[in-house]
Amino acid sequence: MDTWEIVRYNLFSPMVLAFVLGIIASLLKSDLRLPEAIYKGISMYLLFAIGLKGGFGFAQAPLENFWGAALVTFVIGVGVPIWSYAILRTLGRFDIANAAAIAAHYGSVSAVTFSAALAFLNEINVPIEGFMPTLVVILEIPAIIVALLIAQIKLGNSSWKHAMREVVFGSSIFLLLGGAFVGALSGEIGQRQVAPFFTDLFAGLLTLFLLEMGVVTGKYLRDLRHVGGFLVAFGILMPLLHGFLGIWLGDFVGLSLGGSMVLGVLSASASYIAAPAAVRIALPQANPSYYLTAAIGITFPFNLIAGLPIYYQWAVWLS
């Protein structure tokens, strides 16, 4: 597929169209919303399914490239919040709490963006290493810890230990780690047993989830006028920088075309599940309209609509 074909495919995929439909519904003030219980249930399904895929892949795939990929993923998870905080403080003039809060979100990872990348590559028949979902957890935890430690050092915040517990034992990380553990132990036999539910239904439930995320994003789009031009630029340029870094490092350690692209997507995404939960506890003084609008209102739609084909094309060029 050429570049324009890939862009056209991504823009007209059911996932992206459902997301755009949700934004339109929100802007038109429709009462379209998934019931909270269903939304939470689909969120849990996606997280556990991603963990399972990582575990199944870890059990079956050759692991000669895993340790190199795990190492560079950890480096990205530590590095991104450090330089993101520095940029937000020096160029953006954000205070310590808000700079650390935003840095935590951008160092962490969006499991839904990762899911969309898997669906994207599956549709264009580009394979990835089976252990790639395992990298989600490796990236998620260090990034949040580093950002909150920066805030703790600068502010002397005593609640950071509580936040660390929230990160490690919160439902999102617990489902990812637990799913990976279950998948790794059950292996190929277990994968065949649950494939009708956790594989065949994955794209459909992801589409429904993105419809709801479109509604949520539409509400945060109204806050763009309050967050300023710098944060808008940050929410687009930093994912591009991080995406290229992840792709380059993935190619450097020997990942496949699809694997390098996925590592780029992980590096480029911004968390809105685990990171907000931790930040809410450790940095209650941070303004949610900054970190949530940046993550959900700017970076998430950019990555979903434009980022995926860009990162794929970069991976093609590098490989």
pLDDT for residue 78 is more than 90: yes
Longest dimension (CA), the chain: 54
The residue type found at 273 is I
Q: What mean pLDDT is predicted for residues 66-83?
A: 94
* Neighbour tally for 14: CB within 10 Å: 16
Token look-up 């949530």 returns 292
pLDDT value, residue 28: 92
Token look-up 């309209």 returns 289
Helix runs in the chain, H state only: 3-11, 14-27, 36-60, 66-90, 96-107, 111-123, 132-155, 160-169, 171-198, 202-221, 224-252, 257-268, 274-282, 288-292, 300-302, 308-318
Contact 116, 206 (CB under 8 A): yes
Q: CA 278, CA 93: separation in Å to the nearest integer?
A: 23
pLDDT confidence band for 160 (50 / 70 / 90): low
Tokens of 8: 């056209």
pLDDT in tens, 228-265: 889 999 999 999 999 999 999 999 999 999 999 999 99
DSSP 306: I
Domains detected in the chain: 35-318 (1.20.1530.20)
pLDDT for residue 8 is more than 80: no
pLDDT for residue 53 is more than 70: yes
Tokens of 92: 């953006």
Q: CA 233, CA 178: separation in Å to the nearest integer?
A: 36
Higher local confidence (pLDDT), 138 or 126 = 126
Token look-up 């580093």 returns 146
Q: What mean pLDDT is predicted for residues 17-39?
A: 89
pLDDT confidence band for 157 (50 / 70 / 90): low
Q: CA 153, CA 191: separation in Å to the nearest integer?
A: 44
Please provide the size of the chain in residues.
Answer: 319
State the pTM of this model. 0.83
Q: CA 106, CA 86: separation in Å to the nearest integer?
A: 13
Token look-up 């480096």 returns 75
Q: Which range has the worst mean pLDDT, 44-58, 74-88, 272-286?
A: 272-286
- Rg (C-alpha) for the chain, rounded Å, is 18
pLDDT for residue 1 is more than 70: no
Query: Residue 260 is inside which H or E element, if any?
Result: helix 257-268
Contact 285, 255 (CB under 8 A): no
Contact 262, 188 (CB under 8 A): no
pLDDT for residue 2 is more than 70: no
pLDDT for residue 72 is more than 80: yes
Contact 81, 149 (CB under 8 A): no
Q: How far apart are the first and last CA of the chain?
A: 16
Tokens of 258: 């699809």
pLDDT value, residue 214: 86
Token look-up 């590095």 returns 79
Contact 245, 270 (CB under 8 A): no
DSSP string, 117-132: HHHHHHHTT----TTH
pLDDT for residue 70 is more than 80: yes
Tokens of 104: 């935590």
Nearest to 152 by CA among 230, 81, 227, 77: 81
